Each structure stands twice: as structure tokens, then as C-alpha cells.
């Protein structure tokens, strides 16, 4: 973080805003002769990290004199020993100190969590939010922890309406799964994440000035974070050019503080459990009755009918003797999680250091679900004269395990089967065919999930990484700073999965193919370099000029290798050395890649009297990701702003506005999240094509040397209002036009591959977002602040000019999903044939064609938009209370107007085949399906086992309200700390995702459940 530049800007802005006070402090020599004869008090003011603070206001309460600190944090003011000096500065807690004479005073100011968000940190430069024309949100460590202590992503989701975490209905709260994220909707085609190998709609992450991964951010200890900035529009993200179309998240970690050796411990203990409130499965008697009504115990032959009746009586006997197994509890556990962070810091003005260790153990709500994250970090800061040196080194490790048996296998187990035998043993099959005289053979093979979980199978992984970043800053004159930065990182990730040959999934396999082992390993090495020159100066006390010019380079290398083997003699032999063979046609895989990029950038800012604001950015990027004829491109952005609060016609007639600023911006950021090779023709060796010239090669991917960069014209307008220090409003409206889009399109197989990356049209993304906060109780003198808040967001998108170039995916999805790619269609639209419901006379579904005629025949040609998964409005309602050492908060999320395809209705109420009858189903399959003529029912006949086509009948309104986060906190009084010898102790209690209400009844977390949690946290400073 470039603090000196920030401090210089704040100093010059203060001079611009309050020239009269500056003139009085510096030139008043005749109005108060007595004061002129007073002693001159001198001192230096710095922040908690020892950095000098320029532009701090010092006011002698007795003689009314005022002074400002210079760029080195130094001040001088007339006064006398013992007089009170009032000190104030943006982003710091105001303070009063007693003046001393004889030697220079040393004063340290602490961060103010409520006002630290007045500074925007972009990762390359810092800017006072008052003079910034971009759209950005800034959060301190205290604000992040007020919203939650799980991880950074969860806190940002609660605090900013433009930041969205898409719910994963399949994998719920799996600690080893990464979420899908977006800022202000999507700028790339939806549903092609697998094609690119990474999510093209994911924002860019910057950690301490350098690019990083989502996994690193997810694993980052909350106790290490100093601040986070979310950059949303072109003016704020333009410094990152062709990588910034999806927004940028800038994370700054804490730096060591100056002073005596200080030890800080932060720990939390979390208790979590599975949320199964959305499951609505049948009990034993209901399931058996459903199968009877569905005709599962009937046959067209007398012999088959008798065998089916014997099987029915066997299962009925289980029910009558009280077998009603609740399978959902079997794979679950209560998660007991812990997080620890220990940090030692200290040093002088010249040299400061910090060394820390952290450990985070996450036990998921399923057995054999675990993620251990640990590491150490070393921070060093050295300053001599005009040179400052900073180095941050971090070493991390991760160890994880995943369940071998999916939660859906337990949810599908029928309740009329006992879990275990009378002696406690577990059978391989819950039911299996039997042979012999007078023995039924109507029973199917039904596997026991407890058997599969009890084998020596495993799914585990581990990783480690080391990152080192070096920062050198040199200030030849007060107005100029030269900075050079270098970052190097190396990482390794390995996963292993073994399935025992005794697993029921190998029941039909031949002996030498039973059991499997797979191993995947990836290694990465990255380096970044950046050189920049920053200038800031106030001319004629009216014209504030800021400029940054720089260049950066980046190289990323990686290699991936792996193999799969099969055929193990028994489950105790779990290593690949016991395998018999590779799978049919299989062999080990290996690939490596190198991607490089270089860029040159300029950012300029101008403010006149701090009223009229202008920002301009231009950046030239070069990368190996795009076509060989399109390696370089240029991105730009402009922003303007008007601080009306400083206009005389407002300032002289009202004193209610702390801030009143309108702003706008336009720019064309780009997107490089399309993998390293997608634009390049690549080949793979074929060992079966040996000839006199060597090993033959085949085309693996077809490139395009003229492939153009994906860019987005980003328009934004916003307003920031602050009144009476109590009412705050931030509102933005935006329009993003991505042109050209990039997508995989189908090509003739004669060229050697089925598809290639191409430019295909555009996507329009429009919306608005904002936050309103009001302090119902606000009394700083009594440390009292009760604030309510409401955040809101709305977004719409549509495709244009794509023609029929994505019909390949439309055809592939036609019976699998309701996502389509058409001109004028939304990326989140739900396409289906309209349904008029179930005909009471026949129990069959009636469909509505495009011309509004009714028919029993379903045709995909009649598809129309029947809903949209994107809500009309979503956001968070918040309440926060601070009173002396106590604090409390509650955040509730709402979502209105969205739709959802109810997969539970489609898969567990209807569309139940004869094979699916071996699994448990939703209660509505028994009670809400048509059974006889005249029934008014929502679902088809209970005896229908053929495939049900997807229609609007399964699309439902998805409005919901959740209690997302609740927190209580207490900072123990200072007088207690003095007694026990501690510097400070804080205690907090959290509840997360504690309740949820929804208009849709759909199973959530089908492969891994969602979780609710409570936790206790403690922070101790020694």
C-alpha cells in the first residue's frame, strides 16, 4: 500500500479545502502578539505502522492556532506546556494530547474502522474517496469480522450488494469446493466454464499488489487482513486493463507496527451441522405404498406376479416390524472447527518486523470431509532516508479429504431396509437376487452405502505454496515516488482417489477390472514484476494533479500429469503398485504450459478546488493468450465527478452535507480468463503413428491467429451522499457491452477437432446497486452508534448478434438443461415448453404451443422463456450496534422475483423410472400425483414411468429470506487489562446461515449438504 502517496494527496486536498486555516496557521503574525511570543511546540505524527502522516490537522484549543503536518509528518505550533492539542485526520481516530516542550513530541494515531473506507486502494495507487471518480467499496478488518469470521468471500457477500456468490445446489457447503463469483453480473457466456478450464466471469484478485487465485483468498486467514477494496467500474479497474472486465478485489494484509515487542493471538471455535430442512423424503410405509400404487409389484406373467408378491410381503414384513431407517443421518457429523493465528511484531522507525503462524481446521458436516490449512509468514519493513524496503513471505500447506460416498446415495436408500444386521455387521447389499428352490428372484441389486463407506477407499489431496513479494520505494523529492516490486510464487497440488474392489460399483466388472486408483498432480511457478512512478502536487492551492506511469510483466508456468489404474486384488492393497492395468485405451497424461503478459499503463487525476474531478487511464497489454496477430491491445477509461458539497450555493446555505458527489465513468476493460492455449493450434503426440520421421501428432485444439480480445464498454453513473454524519447513500447504475464475445463454436471434424474458440457477437449487461445506511442513535462522545442499512441490486443481461453459432450447445442441452443461446435471450433465462397442467381425465400433461394452442405432444420447437434465475431485486438488511465495548450485528439476505427449475419435482416426484423405484423419493410423489379420472393433480399419473419432458410446470418462483449472519462482541475494559497485564482482549460470538424461508421446496445440497454454524472467537494482545 503506497501510504506516502496517499498521505501527500490528503495533505494537498486539505490545503485546497481549508486554505483559510492554513493561512492562519502559517502567516498570522500580527493578530495575537502574545501567541507569537509563546513557545513553539514541535512533533511528528505517524500511524500504527510507523508511517509519517502528512496533512494531519493540529489545533491548540486554548489559543485557537491550527497547523498541518508536512510530508514527513512533522508539525510546529505556538503554545505552552500542558495545553491541549486536538488532532484529526481522515481514516484515523481523533485524539487530544497534552503539549510538551523541550523535545519533539511523537504521536501515533490509530485507524478508525468507521472512516477508513474513505480511502480507496487499487493495489497500484491509493486515492482519497472524496476525489475518486470510480465506483468502489472499501472495508476494514473490523467491518469484515462484523459480518462473519468464516472467510473473506462470505463477509464480502454480506457487505456489498454488487458482489454475488452463486449458490451451488449440488455441493452445498463442501469445504473443498470453490464458489462461483461475479461482480455486477456476467460479462462472458454462461455455462462454458469447463470449455475454458477456468471461470471467465470470475473477478480478478489482487493480494498485496499482485495477482492471486480464488483458492488463496478463500484460505487466507481473516486475522491477517487489513482492508479490502472492491473495484467495480471502468474508472476504478482500468489500471488492470485487459483483465478487469469482471471487477477487481484488492486485499491488503496487515503490516508490522512500530514499538515494543507485541504478541497477538486470535482464535475461533466453530460448531456446524447439516441443514436438512428442505428434504421431504418418504418414510418406510409411504415408500412401500408408493411402489405398490406405481405397479412395482405387478407382472404380466403369473410366475413374475408371484415372485413380485413374495418380495412385497418381505418388505411389508420389515415395515410391520418397525423398520423405518433414517439414512440421512448416517454420513453426517457435527463439524468442530478451529482457527488460530499468532503474530509477533515490533521494531523501530527504521526497522520493523512481524512473524506469524496460522492454522485452520475445517471438519465438514459429512464424515471424511476435512480441510486443514496452515502456514507461516514473515514481514519486514526497513526505511533509511528516502528509501523504503518491504518484504512479505508466506508459506502455506493444505491437507484435505473428501467423502467417497455421495450424500445422494444415502438420500436414495429406501427406509424399509435395516442399516445393519442384528449383530451390527454391514452387508454389501440391502437387497439382492436369490436363487434356489422356492426362493424369490425378483429382488434387484440394491447397494448399501454404509458398506461402500466402510471399505479402504479414499479421496484425498494435499498442496503447498510459497510466495515472496519485495517492494522498494524511493522518494527523490516530496512530489515523486519511484516504486519497484517483484513477486515470485511456487505451488504444488496433488490429489489421489482409490476405490476398493469390494465397492458395489464394481459388481458387474470382471475380476481384473475391479478397484481403481487415480492420481493427479499439478505444479505452478509464477513471477511478477512492476515498476511505477507516482507524482502528486497541488498547484496554486487550487489544482491538484496526480499521475502514475508504470509497466509490469508476468509469466506463469505449469505442468499437469496424472494416471488412472484399475484391477486390485483386494481392498487392503491401496497403492498403484498393486494395480493390474490401465483402463481400456488409457495411459498416463502430461501437459505443460507457459503464458506471458506485459503491459504499460498511465493513470492521471485532476481536481480543481476539490470540486471538479477528472480521472484518465490508458493501458497497453500484450499476452500470449490471444491470436498471434492480436498479441497487443489498448484499454482506456475516463471518469468525471462533481463534489457539490463544496459549492458555495450549498455550503453557505446548509451545513447538512458531509458529502454530496455525483460521478460517471466510461472505459473498455478486457478479459483474459480463457486458458493458456485456447487461441493457439496445439497438437498431441500419438504413439500409434510411428513412421520414418518420428512420432506422429494429431491436432488437439484448433487456434485462430486473428482471435480478438474480449472487451467490455463499461458505462457507470453514481452518487454518494452523506448527511449529518448519520445518513449515507451510495447508488450506481451501469451498462456493460461486451463485444466481441469469445465462445467455443462447432467446426467440421475434418480439421481434426470438433470446436474452436471464436469471436461471436455481444452481450449487454445492465443494472443498478446501492446501499442506504442511517444511524438511529449516534453519539460519538458516549461511544454509541446504532445503524440500520439496506443494500439492493438488480441486473439483466441479453445476447446479441450471435446468430446460430452456438446451436451446437443448444442441441446438446436440449434434454439436459434449460439454458439456451439465442439472440435477445438472457444468459440466465429458463427456456421450456409452456404447460397447462395435468389433464384430470387422463393424467397426462397438456402443453401450450407458441401460437397458444393446446396439445398432448411435447416439442422442443415450442420452447419459450418461462422464467429467469436472476432475481428482480436482491440484497441485505443490516443492523449494527456499538456501545462502549459492546457490539452487535445481524444481517439478513432477501431475494425477490427470481425463478428456479425445481429438480426435486422433476427427478423425485415425476420422471421416476422403474430403476429409480429402487431409491427413496419425495413425499409429493405419493400424495400429489394423479391416480384416477377426475383427480385435480399437479403431477402426472402415479403409474407413469416413462421420461417426463422438462416444461414450465417445474419452474417455480424462488423468493427467499435468510438470516445470514449474527454477531455479538465485547472488548474488555482497559482498566481490567491493566490489572491482568494484557493490552486488550476481545470476545465474539457468531451464528451463520441460521434460518432460511423460501417459496420453493427443493432439496438443497444433493451431493453435499448445506450447513449452519455457531462460533466463538477471542482476540488477545500481550
| pLDDT digits 0-9 by tens, 130-152 | 788 999 999 999 899 999 988 99
Q: Number of structural domains, the chain?
A: 3
Based on the fold, state whether residues 91 and 172 are members of the same structural domain.
no
pLDDT for position 885: 87
Place of cell 439483466: 796
User: What span, in angstroms and rounded, lies between the C-alpha atoms of 555 and 211?
Assistant: 11
Q: What is the mean pLDDT of residues 625-630?
A: 68
680 part of a folded domain: no
CATH code of residue 74: 2.60.40.1120
pLDDT for position 676: 59
Do 47 and 92 form a contact (C-beta atoms < 8 A)? yes
Whether residue 55 is predicted with pLDDT greater than 80 in this model: the reply is no
434 against 799, higher pLDDT? 799
Based on the fold, state whether residues 518 and 374 are members of the same structural domain.
yes
| SS3 at position 781 | helix
200 part of a folded domain: yes
66 part of a folded domain: yes
464 part of a folded domain: yes
Weakest-pLDDT range from 254-258, 587-591, 811-815: 811-815
The overall longest dimension of the chain from CA atoms, in Å, is: 121
Based on the fold, state whether residues 130 and 84 are members of the same structural domain.
no
679-735 pLDDT per residue, tens: 677 777 777 777 777 778 877 777 777 778 788 999 999 999 999 889 999 999 999
Q: Which residues contact 597 (CB under 8 A, 6 or more apart)?
A: 553, 554, 555, 621, 622, 623, 624, 625, 672
Residue 972 DSSP label: P
Q: pLDDT-based confidence at 38, cuts 50/70/90?
A: low
- Give the residue among 763, 655, 640, 786 at the shortest CA–CA distance from 710: 763
Whether residue 193 is predicted with pLDDT greater than 90 in this model: the reply is no
Cell of 687: 504413439
pLDDT for position 651: 79
99 part of a folded domain: yes
User: What span, in angstroms and rounded, lies between the C-alpha atoms of 739 and 332?
Assistant: 47
Cα atoms found within 13 Å of the Cα of residue 81, Cβ hemisphere only: 5
Do 737 and 712 form a contact (C-beta atoms < 8 A)? yes
The full DSSP string for 174-236 is -TTSPPEEEESS-SS-TT-HHHHTS-TTPPEEEETTEEE-HHHHHHS-GGGEEEEEEE-SHHH
Based on the fold, state whether residues 133 and 229 are members of the same structural domain.
yes
The full DSSP string for 489-534 is EEEEEEEEEEE-TTSGGGTTS-GGG--EEEEEEEEEEEEEEEEEEE
Based on the fold, state whether residues 455 and 517 are members of the same structural domain.
yes
Based on the fold, state whether residues 373 and 461 are members of the same structural domain.
yes
Q: What is the mean pLDDT of residues 607-635?
A: 85
User: What span, in angstroms and rounded, lies between the C-alpha atoms of 653 and 964?
Assistant: 43
Whether residue 1003 is predicted with pLDDT greater than 60 in this model: the reply is yes
Based on the fold, state whether residues 211 and 301 are members of the same structural domain.
no
Cell of 396: 502455506
Whether residue 778 is predicted with pLDDT greater than 70 in this model: the reply is yes
- Give the residue among 872, 835, 878, 874 at the shortest CA–CA distance from 857: 835
Q: What is the mean pLDDT of the chain?
A: 87
| SS3 at position 359 | strand
171 part of a folded domain: yes
Q: What is the mean pLDDT of residues 834-844?
A: 94
Do 857 and 867 form a contact (C-beta atoms < 8 A)? no
CA distances 1019 to 338, 438, 463, 569, Å, are 14, 71, 29, 53
pLDDT for position 21: 36
Q: What is the mean pLDDT of residues 899-917?
A: 93
Based on the fold, state whether residues 474 and 548 are members of the same structural domain.
yes
pLDDT for position 783: 83
Strand spans (E) along 750-885: 755-759, 762-779, 784-800, 829-832, 834-838, 845-848, 854-855, 864-868, 873-883
Whether residue 393 is predicted with pLDDT greater than 70 in this model: the reply is yes
User: What span, in angstroms and rounded, lies between the C-alpha atoms of 46 and 105?
Assistant: 11
User: What span, in angstroms and rounded, lies between the C-alpha atoms of 318 and 899?
Assistant: 41
485-544 pLDDT per residue, tens: 999 999 999 999 999 999 999 998 998 899 999 999 999 999 999 999 999 888 887 898
User: What span, in angstroms and rounded, lies between the C-alpha atoms of 929 and 940?
Assistant: 6
Residue 906 DSSP label: I
Q: What angle do CA 979, 980, 986 make, to 5 degrees?
A: 110
Q: Which residues pair with 771 in a beta bridge?
A: 730, 791
742 against 228, higher pLDDT? 228
Domain end: 89, 114, 139, which one? 114
Do 1018 and 990 form a contact (C-beta atoms < 8 A)? no
| SS3 at position 681 | coil
Q: pLDDT-based confidence at 20, cuts 50/70/90?
A: very low
Based on the fold, state whether residues 789 and 881 are members of the same structural domain.
yes
Domain extent for 898: 119-257+335-408+450-674+710-739+762-800+869-905+956-1021
- Classify residue 643 as exposed, middle or buried by CB count within 10 Å of its CB (0-12, 13-18, 19+): buried
128 part of a folded domain: yes
Based on the fold, state whether residues 191 and 299 are members of the same structural domain.
no
Element (H, E) at 441: none
Task: Give phi and psi for 320, each to the nearest 5.
Answer: -70, -25
Cell of 13: 486536498
Weakest-pLDDT range from 107-116, 618-627, 958-967: 107-116
Whether residue 11 is predicted with pLDDT greater than 50 in this model: the reply is no
Where do the H-state alpha helices sit in 603-647?
none
The full DSSP string for 231-276 is E-SHHHHGGGGGG-TT-EEEEEE--PPSEEEEEEEEEEEEEEEEE-
Based on the fold, state whether residues 156 and 72 are members of the same structural domain.
no
Stated pTM of the model = 0.85
pLDDT for position 439: 47
Q: Which residues pair with 365 in a beta bridge?
A: none
Q: pLDDT-based confidence at 1022, cuts 50/70/90?
A: confident
CATH code of residue 454: 2.40.170.20
User: What span, in angstroms and rounded, lies between the C-alpha atoms of 10 and 89?
Assistant: 9
Q: What is the mean pLDDT of residues 58-65?
A: 83
Place of cell 486467514: 221
pLDDT for position 22: 35
Q: What is the mean pLDDT of residues 446-473?
A: 95
> For the chain, what percent of residues have pLDDT higher than 90?
59
Whether residue 10 is predicted with pLDDT greater than 50 in this model: the reply is no
Q: What is the mean pLDDT of residues 841-848?
A: 94
- Classify residue 811 as exposed, middle or buried by CB count within 10 Å of its CB (0-12, 13-18, 19+): exposed
Reduced DSSP (H G I as helix, E B as strand, rest coil) percent helix, strand, coil of the chain, to 5: 15, 50, 35
Based on the fold, state whether residues 443 and 540 are members of the same structural domain.
no
Q: Which residues pair with 520 in a beta bridge?
A: 495, 562
Alpha carbon 98 to its chain's center: 47
Please count the other Cβ atoms lying within 10 Å of the Cβ belonging to residue 545.
Answer: 15
Q: What is the mean pLDDT of residues 236-248?
A: 88
101 part of a folded domain: yes
Whether residue 35 is predicted with pLDDT greater than 70 in this model: the reply is no
Do 387 and 483 form a contact (C-beta atoms < 8 A)? no
Q: pLDDT-based confidence at 91, cuts 50/70/90?
A: low
| Sign of CA pseudo-dihedral 105, 111, 112, 118 | positive
Burial 267-302 (b: 16+ CB within 10 A, else e): bbebebebbbebbbbbebebbbebbebbebbeeeee
Residue 417 DSSP label: S
Q: What is the mean pLDDT of residues 650-676?
A: 83
287-306 pLDDT per residue, tens: 999 999 999 998 888 888 88
Weakest-pLDDT range from 22-31, 660-669, 860-869: 22-31
- Give the residue among 70, 64, 54 at the shortest CA–CA distance from 25: 64
Cell of 697: 501428432
Residue 934 DSSP label: T
Domain end: 920, 947, 974, which one? 947
619 against 677, higher pLDDT? 619
Amino acid at each position: 500500500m503506497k501510504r506516502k502517496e496517499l498521505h501527500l494527496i490528503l495533505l494537498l486536498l486539505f490545503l485546497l479545502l481549508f486554505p483559510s486555516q492554513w493561512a492562519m496557521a502559517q502567516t498570522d503574525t500580527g493578530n495575537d502578539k502574545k501567541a507569537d511570543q509563546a513557545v513553539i511546540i514541535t512533533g511528528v505524527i505517524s500511524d500504527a505502522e510507523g508511517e509519517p502522516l502528512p496533512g494531519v490537522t493540529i489545533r491548540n484549543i486554548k489559543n485557537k492556532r491550527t497547523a498541518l503536518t508536512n510530508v514527513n509528518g512533522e508539525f510546529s505550533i505556538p503554545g505552552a506546556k500542558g495545553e491541549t492539542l486536538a488532532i484529526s485526520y481522515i481514516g484515523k481516530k481523533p485524539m487530544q494530547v497534552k503539549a510538551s516542550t523541550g523535545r519533539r513530541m511523537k504521536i501515533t494515531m490509530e485507524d478508525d474502522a468507521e472512516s477508513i473506507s474513505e480511502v480507496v486502494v487499487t493495489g497500484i495507487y491509493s486515492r482519497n474517496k472524496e476525489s475518486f471518480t470510480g465506483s468502489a467499496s472499501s472495508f476494514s478488518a473490523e467491518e469484515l469480522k462484523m459480518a462473519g469470521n468464516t472467510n473473506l468471500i462470505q463477509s464480502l457477500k454480506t457487505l456489498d450488494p454488487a458482489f454475488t456468490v452463486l449458490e451451488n445446489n449440488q455441493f452445498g457447503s463442501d469445504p473443498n469446493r470453490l464458489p462461483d463469483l461475479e461482480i455486477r453480473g456476467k460479462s462472458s457466456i454462461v455455462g462454458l466454464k469447463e470449455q475454458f478450464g477456468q471461470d471467465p466471469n470470475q473477478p480478478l484478485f489482487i493480494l498485496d499488489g499482485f495477482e492471486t487465485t480464488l483458492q488463496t483468498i478463500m484460505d487466507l486467514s481473516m486475522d491477517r487482513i487489513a482492508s479490502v477494496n472492491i473495484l467495480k467500474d471502468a474508472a476504478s479497474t482500468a489500471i488492470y486493463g485487459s483483465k478487469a472486465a469482471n471487477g477487481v478485489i484488492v486485499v491488503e494484509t496487515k503490516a508490522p507496527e512500530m514499538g515494543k515487542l507485541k504478541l497477538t493471538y486470535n482464535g475461533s471455535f466453530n460448531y456446524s451441522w447439516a441443514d436438512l430442512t428442505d428434504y421431504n423424503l418418504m418414510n418406510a410405509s409411504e415408500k412401500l405404498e408408493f411402489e405398490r400404487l406405481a405397479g412395482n409389484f405387478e407382472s404380466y406373467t403369473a410366475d413374475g406376479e408371484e415372485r413380485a408378491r413374495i418380495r412385497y410381503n418381505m418388505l411389508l414384513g420389515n415395515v410391520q416390524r418397525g423398520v423405518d431407517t433414517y439414512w440421512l443421518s448416517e454420513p453426517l457429523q457435527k463439524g468442530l472447527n478451529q482457527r488460530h493465528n499468532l503474530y509477533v511484531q515490533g521494531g523501530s522507525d527504521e526497522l520493523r518486523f512481524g512473524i506469524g503462524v496460522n492454522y485452520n481446521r475445517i471438519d465438514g458436516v459429512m464424515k471424511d470431509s476435512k480441510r486443514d490449512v496452515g502456514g507461516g509468514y514473515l514481514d519486514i519493513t526497513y526505511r533509511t532516508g528516502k528509501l523504503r524496503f518491504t518484504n512479505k513471505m508466506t508459506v502455506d500447506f493444505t491437507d484435505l479429504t473428501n467423502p467417497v460416498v455421495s450424500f445422494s446415495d444415502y438420500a436414495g436408500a429406501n427406509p424399509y431396509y435395516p442399516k445393519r444386521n442384528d449383530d451390527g455387521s454391514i452387508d454389501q447389499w440391502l437387497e439382492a437376487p436369490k436363487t434356489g428352490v422356492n426362493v424369490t428372484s425378483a429382488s434387484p441389486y440394491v447397494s448399501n452405502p454404509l458398506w461402500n463407506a466402510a471399505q479402504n477407499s479414499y479421496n484425498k489431496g494435499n498442496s503447498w505454496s510459497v510466495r515472496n513479494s519485495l517492494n522498494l520505494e524511493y522518494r527523490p523529492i516530496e512530489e515523486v515516488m519511484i516504486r519497484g516490486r517483484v513477486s515470485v510464487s511456487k505451488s504444488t497440488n496433488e490429489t489421489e482417489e482409490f476405490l476398493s474392489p469390494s465397492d458395489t460399483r464394481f459388481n458387474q466388472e470382471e475380476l481384473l477390472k475391479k478397484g481403481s486408483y487415480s492420481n493427479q498432480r499439478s505444479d505452478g511457478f509464477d513471477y511478477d514484476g512492476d515498476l511505477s512512478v507516482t507524482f502528486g502536487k497541488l498547484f496554486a492551492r487550487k489544482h491538484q494533479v496526480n499521475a502514475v506511469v508504470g509497466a509490469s510483466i508476468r509469466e506463469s508456468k505449469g505442468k499437469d500429469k496424472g494416471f488412472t489404474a484399475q484391477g486390485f486384488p483386494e481392498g487392503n492393497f491401496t497403492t498403484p503398485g498393486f494395480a493390474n492395468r490401465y483402463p481400456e485405451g488409457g495411459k498416463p497424461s502430461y501437459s505443460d504450459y507457459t503464458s506471458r503478459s506485459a503491459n504499460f499503463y498511465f493513470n492521471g487525476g485532476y481536481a480543481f478546488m476539490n470540486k471538479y474531478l477528472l480521472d484518465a487511464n490508458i493501458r497497453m497489454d500484450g499476452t500470449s493468450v490471444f491470436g498471434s496477430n492480436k498479441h497487443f491491445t489498448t484499454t482506456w477509461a475516463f471518469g468525471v465527478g462533481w463534489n457539490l458539497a463544496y459549492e458555495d450555493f450549498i455550503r453557505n446555505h446548509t451545513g447538512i452535507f458531509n458529502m454530496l458527489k455525483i460521478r460517471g465513468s466510461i472505459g473498455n476493460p478486457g478479459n483474459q480468463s480463457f486458458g493458456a492455449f485456447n487461441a493457439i493450434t496445439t497438437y498431441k503426440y500419438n504413439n500409434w503413428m510411428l513412421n520414418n520421421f518420428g512420432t506422429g501428432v494429431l491436432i488437439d485444439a484448433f487456434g485462430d491467429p486473428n482471435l480478438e480480445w474480449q472487451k467490455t464498454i463499461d458505462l457507470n453513473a453514481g452518487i454518494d451522499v452523506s448527511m449529518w454524519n448519520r445518513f449515507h447513500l451510495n447508488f450506481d447504475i451501469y451498462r456493460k457491452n461486451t463485444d466481441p464475445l469469445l465462445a467455443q463454436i462447432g467446426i467440421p471434424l475434418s480439421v481434426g477437432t470438433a470446436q474452436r474458440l471464436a469471436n461471436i457477437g455481444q452481450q449487454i449487461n445492465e443494472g443498478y446497486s446501492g446501499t442506504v445506511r442511517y444511524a438511529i442513535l449516534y453519539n460519538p462522545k458516549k461511544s454509541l452508534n446504532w445503524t440500520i442499512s439496506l443494500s439492493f441490486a438488480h441486473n439483466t443481461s441479453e445476447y446479441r448478434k450471435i446468430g446460430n453459432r452456438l446451436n451446437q450447445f443448444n442441441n446438446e442441452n436440449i434434454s439436459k438443461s434449460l439454458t439456451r443461446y439465442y439472440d435477445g435471450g438472457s444468459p440466465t433465462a429458463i427456456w421450456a415448453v409452456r404447460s397447462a397442467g395435468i389433464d384430470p381425465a387422463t393424467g397426462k400433461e397438456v402443453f401450450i404451443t407458441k401460437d397458444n394452442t393446446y396439445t398432448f405432444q411435447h416439442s422442443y420447437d415450442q420452447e419459450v422463456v418461462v422464467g429467469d434465475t436472476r432475481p428482480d431485486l436482491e440484497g441485505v438488511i443490516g443492523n449494527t450496534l456499538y456501545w462502549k465495548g459492546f457490539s452487535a450485528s445481524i444481517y439478513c439476505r432477501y431475494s425477490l422475483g427470481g425463478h428456479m427449475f425445481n429438480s426435486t419435482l422433476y427427478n423425485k416426484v415425476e420422471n421416476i423410472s422403474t430403476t429409480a423405484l429402487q431409491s427413496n423419493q419425495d413425499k409429493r410423489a405419493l400424495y400429489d400425483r394423479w391416480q384416477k379420472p377426475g383427480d385435480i393433480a399437479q403431477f402426472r399419473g402415479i403409474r407413469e414411468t416413462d421420461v417426463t419432458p422438462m416444461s414450465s410446470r417445474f419452474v417455480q418462483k424462488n423468493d427467499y429470506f435468510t438470516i445470514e449472519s449474527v454477531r455479538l462482541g465485547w472488548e474488555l475494559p482497559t482498566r481490567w487489562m491493566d490489572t491482568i497485564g494484557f493490552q486488550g482482549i476481545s470476545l465474539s460470538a457468531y451464528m451463520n446461515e441460521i434460518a432460511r424461508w423460501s417459496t420453493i421446496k427443493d432439496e438443497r445440497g444433493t451431493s453435499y449438504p448445506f450447513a449452519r454454524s455457531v462460533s466463538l472467537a477471542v482476540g488477545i494482545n500481550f
